[in-house]
Amino acid sequence: MSKPLFKKVLVANRGEIALRIMRSLRDLGIPSVAVYSDADSLSLHRKYANEAIRLPGRTSTDTYLNIPALIAAVRSSGADAVHPGYGFLSENSGFCAAVAQAGATFIGPSIEAMHLMGDKVEAKALMRKHKVPVVPGSEGALERWEDLQTVAHHIGYPLILKAAAGGGGRGMRIVRADSELKEAYETCRREALSYFGNDMVFTERYVNNPRHIEVQVLCDGKKGVHLFERDCSIQRRHQKLIEEAPSRFLDQEHRERLGEIAVRAALAAHYEGVGTVEFICESPDRAYFMEMNTRIQVEHPVTEMITGVDLIREQIIVAATQNLTLKQSDISIRGWSIETRINAEDPAQGFMPGPGQIQHLHLPAGPGLRIDTHIYPGYTIPAEYDSMVAKFISYGATREEAIQRMQRALSEFECEGIPTTAKFHEIVLKHPAFLSGEFDTGFIQTYQAELDQALKSSSPDPVYGPLLAATQAQLQCDRRTERENQVPLPSRWQEKARLDSTRKN
């Protein structure tokens, strides 16, 4: 056996992504360390890991965002690397620095690359320098409102104001006329300061209802490959709902061109690891760089399905070796993949989160289906964290087959005790605009009334009487045993992991 990549990796995250990361670690033969909050003491990620460390408290601030507590866990566990997942501290360069300070490897890009991409003005300037197409606008930050006026007179309306420290659609403002300029500018700066602690703003021409297309890249600082694109146009208020790969919008020529541009963008920042270069597209040959996300993303599985690459495995290998062995010619697309995000939210109530206990659960399965989730019958979804409870990822030889298999999955799914977005997805997946591929980021808004109506008139799910009764009986039994033991049941998984790591052949 060659030298192991890492001795032990601490996963600084929770939920489905923590579990997903630990699975790739297990495939690589690397023991994992979980951290868990008091709200997550019965979470699967805690049970799946080879070791688990409690982070006292329930809020994100006290636990998964608590850098000193996480660094203490790194030290006490002896982990030599940290995987941040997505969200939480995954794009926090201070956390990167603290991990390095503790003598461990941060599985992600360098502090410099992360910091650079976090500043949208700086990132855009670097892209211009490297001939990556950007939307016309201010060349740098707007120091005074008159600077905005100058740009407006140069390129016209509508314009969009954005915070340099923003991203993901937060802190943006559309300006449509001279009369709105001054107030929009002042409000945007004030909001930027309160949201991001930085009041720098910039502007660009506003592209109405663009497509959102992002390219997956994998780099080692010197070389890079792309793994084609994902179309994430189906979103609501900047929350993605459905993603797919590849995109109906690009032909092979534009696809390859966008991939090359994305690699150029990443290497301009000497990027290391997996990353996503986000574009908005007006037409296939008018794609503009928006921002680069310096983390593994929620929707990464659709790329894995069509390329056969385990992105998290590759991310870990690059972090350990600083060397990319995959070549562009090794990567090709086979088939089509779609992801629907199952959130504990009620689409009939404006997608209001509905945390609670899962009383009955039946997860779909079958050909062309992958489910990434951390939920199980009896699990209580805490109110403290985000509401995504599962990702359904379908695969087919064609887009039509991937859609059909997703429809099958959604119709098999049963979940009692919490609201979910599953029914809403079924309706979107039947919509002619979705089926034809003729949609953009305005889809949900454009068809809102129609989708709401379809939701109202859809028949309620039949409740599986016998199955439901059986699960509830099991739940009561579990609760009784738990009370008697005073502590959570020992995990069979954890025992198995211990056995695996001590067994001699």
What residues act catalytically? 295
For 326-340, give the secondary structure using H, E and C.
CCHHHCCCCCEEEEE
CA 394, CA 369: separation in Å to the nearest integer? 5
- Beta carbon of residue 155, minimum distance to ligand MV4 (angstroms, whole number): 11
Beta bridge partners of 54: 36
Q: Which helix (H) or strand (E) holds 229?
A: strand 224-236
At residue 498's C-alpha, the angle toward residues 497 and 504, to 5°, is 105
Distance CA 261, CA 318 (A): 21
Q: CA 55 to CA 59: how far, in whole Å? A: 10
Minimal distance, residue 290 CB to ligand MV4, in Å: 4
Among 142, 290, 298, 306, binds ligand MV4 (CB under 6 A): 290
97 or 207: CB nearest ligand MV4: 207
Site for ligand MV4 in 400-459 (CB under 6 A): 441
Which CB, 74 or 277, lies closer to ligand MV4?
277
| Minimum CB distance to ligand MV4 smaller for 4 or for 168 | 168
Number of C-alpha atoms within 13 angstroms, CB side, residue 289? 30
> Which residues pair with residue 243 across a beta bridge?
339
Q: Please identify, using beta-carbon distances, which residue of 75 and 128 lies nearer to ligand MV4.
A: 128
Choice from 57, 140, 169, 382 touching ligand MV4 (CB under 6 A)? 169
283 by DSSP, 3-state: which? strand
| H helix runs in 83-220, sequence order | 93-101, 111-118, 120-129, 145-155, 181-196
Nearest distance, CB of residue 328 and ligand MV4, angstroms = 26
Q: How far is CA 285 from CA 155, 230, 249, in A?
A: 20, 16, 10
In the complex, least distance from residue 41 CB atom to ligand MV4, rounded to whole angstroms: 36
Binders of ligand MV4 among residues 197 to 256 (CB under 6 A) are 204-207, 210, 212, 235, 238
Among 246, 276, 70, CA closest to 167: 276
- Positions in 344-403 near ligand MV4 (CB under 6 A): none
At 405, list the tokens. 């298999």
By beta-carbon proximity to ligand MV4, the closer residue of 205 and 408 is: 205
Binding-site size, ligand MV4 (CB under 6 A): 17
Among 18, 73, 104, 160, binds ligand MV4 (CB under 6 A): 160
* 168 or 366: CB nearest ligand MV4: 168
Q: Decide if residue 135 touches ligand MV4 (CB under 6 A).
A: yes
Helix (H, G, I), strand (E, B) or coil at 54: strand
For the CB of residue 236, give the shortest distance to ligand MV4 in the complex, in Å: 9
CB of 311 vs ligand MV4, minimal distance in Å: 21
- Residue of 184, 213, 280, 296 that binds ligand MV4 (CB under 6 A): 280
E-assigned strands of 246-343?
272-283, 286-293, 336-343
CB of residue 117 to ligand MV4, shortest distance in Å: 12
* CA–CA separation, 202 and 200 (whole Å): 7
Q: Which two tokens stand for residue 362?
A: 């039946």
Q: Among residues 160 and 371, whose Cβ is nearest to ligand MV4? A: 160
Beta bridge partners of residue 239, listed in sequence order: 236
Q: Which residues bind ligand MV4 (CB under 6 A)?
A: 135, 160, 168-169, 204-207, 210, 212, 235, 238, 278, 280, 290-291, 441
